[in-house]
Amino acid sequence: MCWIPATLLIFCHSATVGSPVSISIDRSSPGQTIEGFGASSAWYDRFLPDFSPEAREGMVDFLFDPQHGLGLSIHRIRIDPVPAGQPGGPVYDWSHPRIQAQGEALRLVKNRHHPRFIAAPWTPPAWMKSNAELKNGGRLLEQHYPAYAAYLVEWLRGMKEHFGIEVEILSIQNEPDDKKQWESCIWTAEEMAAFISGHLKPALDQASLPTKLMAYEHTVWDDGPLNTILKDPVAGPALSYAAAHLYHGSRSRPKVFAQAVARGMPVWMTEFYLGDYAMEKPFVEHDRVLQLGRVMHDTLVRSQVNAYLFWWMWAPPDKPSEGLIIAEFGDTFTPPFTTWRPTEKAYGMAHFSRFIRPGATRFNVVPEQVKEGVRLSAFVNPDNCLVLVAINESSQPAEISWDDPSLAGCRVRTIHVTTAEDSLKPLSADSIGSGITLPARSLVTILFEQPESGTK
């Protein structure tokens, strides 16, 4: 028999779920500050201006609107290497049609929602590299370190001058640890430290650019190379942000980047998606949504990151697992484009990104795991609103209650639920008392209004 109010009878199931588990919020040890959630527009940003005004505004609002969309606040940009001049010529061709289209797309986003912009190169220009091509790894030749530093500074300066885009954070290299078949470049930690200390940091200082530096953006969740850079007496202090990705199974090995945290350096997870290759067969799309929820929970709670970024904002129909939005570019990518649709996993991400706002503080939930497959996380937003996110991957409902003194006086403001049948469905909170039943295989986000004396 369900013990929850009639307004939430949608949560009731015939299966016996047992006694509710009482949870509390540990106010004694505040966790990390959340800087935001985001995604990348790499390669596909230049197509945004080719959508109809209604379509492009709808896509941008869905991604960035904190009231009705995903509430993203970070936009990750790829630095396009093709319009780069040869030695003795212009450093960058700002008249190139692809760069004009990219700049216009970023300006559309900026004017509508003002996210933080971060940028990363996938490769230096081909003529600067050991393999003389953009793809398949290669290394930046040491004799071109000064030219590459000038190139990056020119790109940062030009984005502001030509398009009004001020890039707050520059990552030295996307996934520098491995040779890729696509645009890529391999750096050792020692090479990156030498480039930062001897060339890039001096060039940024000379240009009076306030851009902060990020490293190492390893393909896997590993801080070994980052720690090597941090030991460098010049390059270490020059870094402001630590970052890595979650590929090759590292999502299941959460860890805190202890040396970065000890320095007070924010740690960001800057790219991840769950491809079909990572899913246990057979599966339905809701399995991916639940797994993404678990990954986000573990990254925020166990790896204690300050920001979480998905891979693509929008992707073509043949890459559905990689985008938060599927954009109908057509077979030939010939504009105009008019059609797009959100993915189910986007709504799963929204359980965190829409409700946990920049500046929120994470607090531990006790217990974090109510039972096998059920995880809880808690955050207090700058407006003193408490956000509780629950992921129930199990096939049975789970009951929780919050009659603990740590939640005394809190009133439920909103509840949103995602199941296989509904995505981010709002439910009435008018009659909620001190507990709720989490449906089987669901994500649930509950917003509490705290008393004025509550912890911020």
209: left (phi over 0), alpha (psi -120 to 50) or beta: beta
Rounded CA gap, 350 and 37, in Å? 9
Residue 401 has a pLDDT of 93
Helix, strand, coil percent values for the chain (each to nearest 5): 30, 25, 40
Identify the pLDDT of residue 9: 32
Start-to-end CA span in the chain (Å): 37
Q: Which residue has the tokens 């693509």?
A: 312
Residue with tokens 């320095």: 263
Supply the CATH number for residue 56's domain.
3.20.20.80
Predicted confidence at residue 17, as pLDDT, reads: 56
Q: Is residue 1 included in any domain, yes or no? A: no
Q: Which residue has the tokens 């909620």?
A: 432
Q: What is the pLDDT of residues 282-341, one digit of tens each?
A: 999 999 999 999 999 999 999 999 999 999 999 999 999 999 999 998 778 888 899 999
Domain co-membership, 56 together with 148: yes
Q: How many Å apart are CA 342 and CA 118, to the nearest integer?
A: 24
Question: What tens digit of pLDDT does each residue of 52-111 get?
Answer: 999 999 999 999 999 999 999 999 999 999 888 777 778 999 999 999 999 999 999 999
Of the candidates 329, 358, 387, which is a domain's last residue?
Answer: 358
Domain containing 438: what range?
Answer: 6-30+362-449
Does 454 map to a domain? no
Torsion of CA 289, 243, 369, 392, to 10 degrees: -10
Token reading at 107: 């300006």
Helix (H) or strand (E) holding 347: helix 344-353
Residue 11, pLDDT above cutoff 50: no
Residues 115 and 63 in one domain: yes
354/260 same-domain check? yes
What stretch of H or E contains 195?
helix 189-195
Both tokens assigned to 222: 């590993």
Which residue is it, tokens 């860890």? 255
Q: Which of 358, 379, 399 is the last residue of a domain?
A: 358
Examine the domain organization and report whether 279 and 417 are in the same domain.
no
If you average pLDDT over every residue of the chain, what do you get? 93
Residue 173 has pLDDT above 60, yes or no: yes
269 and 347 in a single domain? The answer is yes
Do 207 and 287 sit in the same domain of this protein?
A: yes
- Residue ending a domain, among 330, 358, 386, is 358
For residues 170 and 234, what is the distance between their CA atoms, to the nearest angstrom? 17
CATH number (domain holding residue 436): 2.60.40.1180
Same domain as 204, residue 82: yes
Asked if 59 contacts 325 with a C-beta cutoff of 8 angstroms, the reply is yes
Q: Give the model's confidence band at 431: pLDDT under 50 very low, under 70 low, under 90 confident, else very high.
A: low
Q: Are 268 and 207 in the same domain?
A: yes
- Please check whether residue 125 lies inside any domain of the structure: yes
User: CA nearest 114: which of 178, 64, 153, 39?
Assistant: 64
pTM of the model: 0.94
Same domain, 422 and 335: no
Asked whether residue 72 falls in the same domain as residue 122, the answer is yes
CB 97 within 8 A of CB 140: no
Residues 184 and 224 in one domain: yes
453 pLDDT band, cuts 50/70/90, is low
Does residue 236 form part of some domain?
Answer: yes
Whether residue 455 is contained in a domain is answered as: no
Domain count, the chain: 2
Secondary structure (3-state) at 187? coil
Q: Are residues 117 and 255 in the same domain?
A: yes
Residue 18 has pLDDT above 50, yes or no: yes
Q: Is the pLDDT of residue 3 over 90?
A: no
As given in the structure block, the two tokens for residue 194 are 């030498």
Mean pLDDT (whole number) for 402-425: 91
Report the residue count for the chain.
456
